[in-house]
Amino acid sequence: MELFLMTVTTGIMVGGIYALIALGWVLIYKCSGVLNLAMGELTLIGAYVSLSFYSAGVPFLLALLFSLVIGFILGILTERIFLDKLIGEPVLTVIMVTVGLSFFFKGCVELVWGTDTRVFSPPVFPLKPIQLGPLIIGQVYLWSFVAAIILLCIFVCFFKYTRWGLAMQATADDEMAALSLGISARFVYAIAWAIAFMAAGVGGTLLGNINGLNISVGYMGLLVLPAVVLGGLNSVPGAIVGGIVIGVLQNLSGAYLDQFFPGGVKEIAPFAFMAVFLLFKPYGLWGWERIERV
């Protein structure tokens, strides 16, 4: 029972970070109907930028703030340079461009930072674990979860109460109606990419604090896709719930199935779950169902 509780607790905490990255997937899909297959590389870039500032002696919170600012700028530039001319083009075309961007960004990361595993030194979070009854929790998991939840709350409030956030929701609901009200679709898409860069970068930074940082962290961005599908591709609350569920599922698979099927069940389980789940709920738990009448 102690193993089960510790596994679930750790899964919830890692799932909070997954939810933050999933938010980037959902934002871009809500605004443009495009699956951004370069999310893993956005995660990598933000994490390495934070690590670079921290290694240069900048305090961690300030390094994280700098990475948010740079992520915002890079998101705007990416949308303007690579995607702005594709507004109105077939969705498949835009998706293939994001595939090309993923390879481009990965190459840039390898060129600038290399492929060796790097760690935040000195450690950002205390190494001594916290004991809560029978549970022993590493502080890196606990504080990473707290940081992820705080940022998720900030992003949710941004969408609900700010002019930019409301404009993004209006464009996602009905682009033509939003355009008739004077909302710029180009502006909304640029902001969506900027926030996706920021959310993915923070998620990558927190994951890098847990396991170290190397090129494989980019895979975590793709690992979040089952969480997005579970909650619904256009649902922000769904991204949060899906991230936590996938985090718990991944940890339980590693704890109980790796001994019978050695070789990475922990990484495969979320995608197997996604394949089965889609058979019964193709639009996710809170996704919009497309209804066509002839």
Peptide bond into 90 cis (omega under 30): no
User: CA-based angle 236:241:247, to the nearest 5?
Assistant: 125
Residue with tokens 């956030």: 165
User: CA-based angle 196:202:205, to the nearest 5?
Assistant: 135
pLDDT band at 104 (very low <50, low <70, confident <90, very high): very high
CB 169 within 8 A of CB 183: no
Average pLDDT, the chain: 84
Q: Tens digit of pLDDT for each residue in 230-261?
A: 888 877 788 888 888 888 998 888 888 877 77
Q: Tens digit of pLDDT for each residue in 13-69?
A: 888 888 888 888 888 887 777 788 888 888 899 899 999 999 998 999 899 999 999
The pLDDT, as a whole number, for residue 282 is: 81
Burial (Cβ within 10 Å: 0-12, 13-18, ≥19) of residue 153 = exposed
At residue 135, the 3 state secondary structure works out as strand
Residue 27 tokens read as 């934002």
Sequence ranges of the domains in the chain: 2-280
Q: What DSSP state is assigned to residue 131?
A: E
* Alpha-carbon gap, residue 156 to 290, rounded angstroms: 25
Q: Does domain 2-280 have CATH number 1.10.3470?
A: yes
CA Rg value for the chain: 19
**pLDDT reading at 289 higher than 70:** no
* Alpha-carbon gap, residue 121 to 123, rounded angstroms: 5
Residues 6 or more apart from 9 whose CB is under 8 A from it? 135, 137
pLDDT band at 211 (very low <50, low <70, confident <90, very high): confident
**pLDDT reading at 181 higher than 90:** no
Least confident residue range of 62-71, 94-103, 134-143: 134-143
- For residue 8, give the H/E element and its range: helix 2-32
